[in-house]
Amino acid sequence: MQITLSKHAGFCEGVQRAYSMVEKLTQDPIVKKPICVLGDLVHNGEVVARLEKIGVRKLDPKESLEEFITKNKEQIGTLVITAHGAGPKIYELSKKYQIDLVDTTCPRVIKVQRLAKNFFEKNVQIVIIGEKNHKEVVGIFQWGGESAIFVETEKDLKDLNLDPNKEIAVLSQTTQDQEFVKRAAAQISKKYPKAQILDSICLATHERQSEISQLTKNNEVVIIIGDPASSNSKRLFEIAKRSNKNSYFIQKAQQLEQKWFSGKKTVAITAGASTPAWIIEEVVLKLKNL
Ligand code: SF4
């Protein structure tokens, strides 16, 4: 069986950068411990577990951020913002409560946050094409003064009703489905010709999604490795499934099933931006041994 591994499988630049930064913090004696991450550093259970082993704690605030920080500030050595970014509040709170903050927000996400802030200050109506509960989108929404309108589904797109007298700017989640963003942008432009459309899908997403479309055509079986919590991994699976019904989503090598490959000669493997190299290597090895 011929195995083709995607050129873009695994950690994207932004996630790799955040992971390496946190790893270095754990080894730096000057950095205050414990290192606490606001949410999952990466949407991958195995990566989070590995970080926990080296002393990195995950914080999961259920109450408001301020209540949480007030209650727990003594237990936080250094606070880390993940590559997905966060709203402006955490920067204010860390100053107010004198908490050491390390910001690993991906530069590509910062760019979208800044756009959202600028548009809000100019009273422009922001539209975000993305999942409203996704961490990155929540941060962008907060930088945009919590005034943005979301387009997450076809129905949202159909029901979109904006004030035509107001300037409109359309942003997208960096890991959105590029086909959906293209379609949504075209429809919004048609309805509101003056709307500014800013393609904020990041290059890593573009490359990954374009490549998977090709791989699904050239291979009989497609394996997508990712955590169910990772929306970009699930999106890759949705794209693959559209053109190849023999596409499978797995978290780890043990989930591979021999019957998927019976009589098949070609298989492609890809992985979401939050899947670490060691999981991809295990999958490749297991496939070679099947
Ligand atoms: S997917 Fe793109 S924007 Fe998101 S962390 Fe990775 S490189 Fe940055």
Ligand 1 center–CA 105 separation, angstroms: 9
pLDDT tens per residue across span 176-229: 999 999 999 999 999 999 999 998 999 999 999 999 999 999 999 999 999 999
Ligand 1 center–CA 161 separation, angstroms: 30
pLDDT of residue 227: 96
- Distance in angstroms (rounded) separating the CA atoms of residues 95 and 98: 5
The three-class DSSP label of residue 284 is: helix
pLDDT tens per residue across span 1-48: 999 999 999 999 999 999 999 999 999 999 999 999 999 999 999 999
Ligand 1 center–CA 37 separation, angstroms: 18
pLDDT of residue 175: 95
Q: Is the predicted pLDDT of residue 252 greater than 90, yes or no?
A: yes
pLDDT of residue 215: 96
- Distance in angstroms (rounded) separating the CA atoms of residues 182 and 206: 12
How many other C-beta atoms lie within 10 A of the C-beta of residue 100? 14
**Is 136 a residue of the active site?**
yes
- Ranges of H-type helices in the chain: 13-27, 45-53, 65-72, 89-96, 107-121, 135-143, 154-159, 178-191, 203-218, 231-243, 277-289
Where residue 95 falls among pLDDT bands split at 50, 70, 90? very high
Q: Structural domain boundaries of the chain? A: 2-10+203-289, 13-105, 108-197
Name the fold adopted by 2-10+203-289. Answer: Cobalt-precorrin-4 Transmethylase; domain 1 (3.40.1010)
**β-bridge pairing 168-172 and 100-103:** unpaired
What share of the chain in percent tops pLDDT 90?
Answer: 98
Ligand 1 center–CA 235 separation, angstroms: 14
Report the atom number in ligand 1 closest to the C-alpha of 204: 2
CATH 3.30.590.10 assigned to 108-197:
no
Report the atom number in ligand 1 closest to the C-alpha of 232: 1
Burial 138-177 (b: 16+ CB within 10 A, else e): bbbbbbbeeebbbbbeeeebeebeeeeeeebbbbbbbbbb
pLDDT of residue 199: 87
**Does this chain's domain 2-10+203-289 share its CATH topology with 108-197?**
yes
Q: What is the pTM of this model?
A: 0.94
Report the atom number in ligand 1 closest to the C-alpha of 108: 3
Where residue 164 falls among pLDDT bands split at 50, 70, 90? confident
What share of the chain in percent tops pLDDT 70?
Answer: 100
Which of 286 and 199 is assigned the larger pLDDT? 286
**Tokens at 119, concatenated:** 């548009």
pLDDT tens per residue across span 39-86: 999 999 999 999 999 999 999 999 999 999 999 999 999 999 999 999
> Taking CB atoms and a 6 Å cutoff, what residues make up the pocket around ligand 1?
12-15, 83, 106, 108-109, 174-175, 202, 204-205, 273
CATH 3.40.50.720 assigned to 13-105:
no
Peptide bond between residue 228 and the one before it cis (omega within 30 degrees of 0): no
Q: Is the predicted pLDDT of residue 173 greater than 90, yes or no?
A: yes
For the chain, give the mean pLDDT: 96
Closest by CA to 84, choosing from 43, 56, 23, is 43
Catalytic residue among 23, 63, 121, 136: 136
pLDDT of residue 290: 85
Q: Whose CA is nearest to atom 7 of ligand 1?
A: 14
